[in-house]
């Protein structure tokens, strides 16, 4: 065993980890595409089988008329509210424009002023087909209706003393002692919308002094790659004071048997959440990602208690999935930002307390040029791990100095690898060389990789930020498009990814030139697998991440040359090795056991050879 062999082992372990992770990622994406194709095929087949055997326009008119009559009957004393005209109202602050509708007295849609959608207009959250908030109320003769099917009246609007805006919707019927009020307040800054619900005549309108709320939320695509966006979309919630989440492809529902603080749908960079300051008591959330034009559709059914006055409070968050923005509300919403989740939760502290603050510091220095901010972040990380880097290169220099003696051992023992290994271990111990000196530093950098992978996939500031030829650092750069799809690679070639793979190849080539075991074909070619792996599996990743690896690899190449040429004195290393050889050696218990095992194995092998003869 020698340093470069262990360096190779480090590369192999890294490649296995990366390959496993991205193989699972690619498998999930492939299954998702197949699932969507099957469902679209079924829908198309059903549509084709149902020919226009009837007058479709007349059928629609008759259906609408029947539906309208049914809603009037269901509304009972609130039936006048089924025939009222819809009124829309808008509140805004520097962050958002909130559109309200009298149809259900609810938030209709929210526009984010600081973010652009696929159509180059503002990002819009909520308001998509099937999105609404409502709850059932009792009317007459044991009938019930739901608030989102009724037209509220615009009762009041204006400004609060603190400068925030408000709007008040009221639903009244033929009985003046029973009515509903929905009041919304939008603060001067931020994304949190507050709603106050008042139920006058609560005993006659709801059961158990509780509202059985339903919040339907449809997430429409906000990114170019719908499959990747779905891969990075989650359903999150806090139940019994503990946060949990589900990726939308893994399961389709969750039943709550305890208190729920909030439920939310996080797309890759944006979050829609329903929050109860006084928690919901129980309920469920169901979601589906079967649509080929939508990211996910969710339906939350939650029980909201009313206080002694028949009132309840709700809050809505429609805004960016930004860690610090969410954390300022002190609601636990920041936990849904993927800075390290599941089996990779161990990198979350590294992201929160090191990478994210340093990135934001450099971002403040560079302004809108986030490519330079990433470059400075890369240099900072390389400085931070420089002791490991130097230790690795020093170990490599020591192993290179032992190359002539290792060659003599190989000549002496020939194909007897067991004897060769025993003598090699003795040589390392005499020279004071740690054979794992190159492997351990490489393995210790694994958490940094997974932390950066999570960071670059979730950092909303990269969205739409251009750098060099990349128009958006949050997605892959595609200066070369094939016009067709290549398995694993896709329909484009990322230039930053090509640079990352090429520089990784140069690092591998340089490392192999340092190895003492130049004749082992496995060790000779294994390090080159990683650059090929990079080329195929990193091609779909954010260009910010592949730009980081390009810079990091260039730094590695420069450090290797400088340290090996100008800092490490090979004559001093040889003198130090000779000095170590003269010192008395003490064996650890582990070394003693290892030598005993090797000696026993050698005796057993020799015995088997003799008996075979």
Domain 103-337 in CATH 2.40.50.140: no
Q: What is the pLDDT of residue 72?
A: 53
Of 77-86, 211-220, 473-482, the range with the lowest mean pLDDT is 77-86
Q: Which among 466, 246, 208, 451 has a CA at the least distance from the CA of 340?
A: 451
H helix runs in 271-385, sequence order: 323-327, 348-350, 356-366, 370-384
Neighbouring residues of 49: CB distance < 8 A, sequence distance ≥ 6: none
Per-residue HEC secondary structure of 250-299 comes to CCCEEEECCCEEEEEEECCCEEEEEEEEEEECCEEEEEECCCCCCCEEEE
**In the predicted model, what is the mean pLDDT of residues 92-117?**
94
Of 232-236, 237-241, 490-494, 603-607, the range with the lowest mean pLDDT is 603-607
**In the predicted model, what is the mean pLDDT of residues 2-31?**
54
Domain limits, CATH 2.70.98.90, in the chain: 103-337
Strand partners, 302: 213, 283
Query: How do the residues of the chain divide into helix, strand and coil, expressed in percent and rounded to 5?
Result: 50, 25, 25
Each residue's pLDDT tens digit, 327-348: 999 999 999 999 998 888 999 9
**% of residues, the chain, pLDDT over 90:** 42
Is the model's pLDDT at 58 over the cut of 50?
Answer: no
What would the DSSP string read from start to end of 60-97?
Answer: HHHHHHHHHHHHHHHHGGGGGGGSSPP-EEEEE-SSEE
Q: Starting at the edge strand that comes first in sequence, how are the strands of the sheet with 132-134 ordered? A: 132-134, 210-219, 296-305, 283-288, 253-256
Neighbouring residues of 223: CB distance < 8 A, sequence distance ≥ 6: 118, 229, 267, 268, 269, 474, 475
DSSP type of residue 445: T
Longest dimension (CA), the chain: 108
Is the model's pLDDT at 271 over the cut of 90?
Answer: yes
What would the DSSP string read from start to end of 213-243?
Answer: EEEEEEEPP-SS-HHHHHHT-EEEEEETTEE
**In the predicted model, what is the mean pLDDT of residues 574-599?**
63
Round the CA-based radius of gyration of the chain to a whole number and report it: 32
Query: How far apart (Å, rounded) are the C-alpha atoms in residues 18 and 450?
Result: 9
Query: How far apart (Å, rounded) are the C-alpha atoms in residues 556 and 558?
Result: 5
- Output 251 or 485, whichever has higher pLDDT: 485
The model's pTM is 0.78
Is the model's pLDDT at 238 over the cut of 90?
Answer: yes
Q: Are 277 and 331 in contact (CB under 8 A)?
A: no
Is the model's pLDDT at 71 over the cut of 90?
Answer: no
Is the model's pLDDT at 150 over the cut of 50?
Answer: yes
pLDDT bucket at 557, cuts 50 / 70 / 90: confident
pLDDT bucket at 592, cuts 50 / 70 / 90: low
Strand partners, 470: 467
Output the CA angle 158-108-152, nearest 5 degrees: 65
Pairing of strands 96-101, 88-92: antiparallel
Query: How far apart (Å, rounded) are the C-alpha atoms in residues 58 and 64?
Result: 10
Of 55-69, 457-471, 597-611, the range with the lowest mean pLDDT is 55-69
Q: Which helix (H) or strand (E) holds 612?
A: helix 589-612
pLDDT bucket at 180, cuts 50 / 70 / 90: very high
**In the predicted model, what is the mean pLDDT of residues 459-487?**
89
């Amino acid at each position: 065993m020698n340093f470069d062999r262990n360096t190779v082992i480090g590369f192999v372990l890294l490649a296995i980890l990366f390959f496993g992770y991205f193989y699972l990622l690619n498998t999930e994406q492939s299954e998702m595409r197949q699932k969507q194709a099957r469902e679209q095929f079924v829908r198309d087949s059903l549509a084709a089988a149902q020919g226009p055997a009837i007058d479709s326009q007349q059928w629609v008119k008759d259906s609408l008329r029947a539906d309208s009559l049914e809603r009037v009957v269901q509304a009972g004393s609130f039936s006048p509210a089924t025939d009222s005209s819809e009124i829309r109202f808008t509140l805004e602050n520097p962050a958002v424009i909130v559109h309200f509708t009298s149809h259900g007295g609810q938030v209709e849609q929210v526009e984010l002023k600081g973010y652009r959608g696929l159509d180059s207009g503002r990002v819009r959250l909520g308001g998509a087909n099937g999105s609404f908030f409502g709850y059932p109320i009792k009317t007459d003769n044991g009938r019930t209706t739901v608030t989102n099917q009724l037209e509220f009246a615009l009762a009041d609007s204006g400004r609060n003393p603190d400068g925030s805006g408000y709007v008040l919707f009221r639903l009244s019927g033929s009985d003046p002692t029973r009515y509903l009020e929905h009041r919304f307040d939008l603060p001067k800054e931020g994304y949190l919308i507050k709603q106050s619900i008042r139920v006058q005549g609560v005993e006659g309108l709801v059961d158990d002094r509780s509202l059985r709320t339903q919040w339907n939320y449809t997430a429409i695509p906000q990114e170019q790659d719908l499959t990747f966006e779905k891969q990075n979309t989650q359903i999150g919630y806090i139940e019994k004071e503990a946060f949990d989440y589900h990726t939308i492809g893994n399961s389709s529902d969750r039943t709550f048997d305890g208190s729920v603080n909030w439920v939310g749908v996080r797309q890759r960079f944006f979050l829609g959440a329903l929050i109860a300051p006084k928690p919901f008591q129980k309920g469920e959330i169901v979601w589906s990602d079967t649509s080929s034009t939508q990211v996910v559709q969710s339906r939350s059914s939650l029980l909201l208690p009313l206080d002694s006055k028949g009132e309840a409070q709700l809050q809505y968050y429609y805004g960016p999935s930004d860690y610090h923005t969410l954390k300022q509300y002190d609601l636990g919403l920041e936990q849904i930002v993927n800075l390290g989740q599941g089996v990779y939760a161990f990198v979350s502290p590294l992201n929160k307390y090191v990478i994210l603050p340093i990135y934001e510091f450099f971002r403040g220095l560079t302004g809108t040029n986030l490519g330079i901010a990433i470059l400075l972040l890369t240099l900072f990380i390389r400085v931070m791990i420089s002791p490991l880097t130097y230790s690795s290169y020093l170990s490599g220099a020591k192993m290179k100095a032992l190359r002539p003696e290792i060659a003599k051992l190989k000549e002496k023992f020939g194909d007897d690898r067991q004897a060769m290994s025993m003598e090699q271990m003795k040589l390392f111990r005499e020279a004071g060389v740690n054979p794992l000196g190159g492997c351990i530093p490489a393995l210790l950098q694994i958490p940094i990789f997974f932390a950066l992978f999570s960071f670059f996939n979730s950092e909303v500031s990269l969205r739409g930020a251009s750098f060099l030829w990349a128009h958006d650092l949050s997605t892959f750069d595609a200066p070369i498009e094939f016009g067709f799809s290549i398995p694993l690679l896709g329909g484009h070639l990322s230039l930053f990814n090509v640079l990352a793979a090429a520089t990784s190849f140069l690092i591998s080539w340089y490392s192999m030139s340092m190895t003492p075991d130049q004749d082992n074909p496995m060790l000779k070619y294994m390090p080159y697998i990683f650059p090929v792996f990079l080329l195929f599996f990193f091609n779909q990743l954010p260009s910010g991440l592949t730009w980081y690896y390009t810079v990091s690899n260039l730094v590695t190449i420069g450090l290797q040359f400088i340290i090996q040429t100008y800092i490490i004195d090979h004559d001093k290393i040889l003198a130090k090795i000779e000095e170590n050889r003269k010192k008395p050696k003490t064996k650890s218990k582990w070394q003693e056991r290892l030598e005993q095992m090797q000696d026993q194995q050698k005796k057993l092998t020799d015995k088997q050879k003799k008996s075979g003869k």
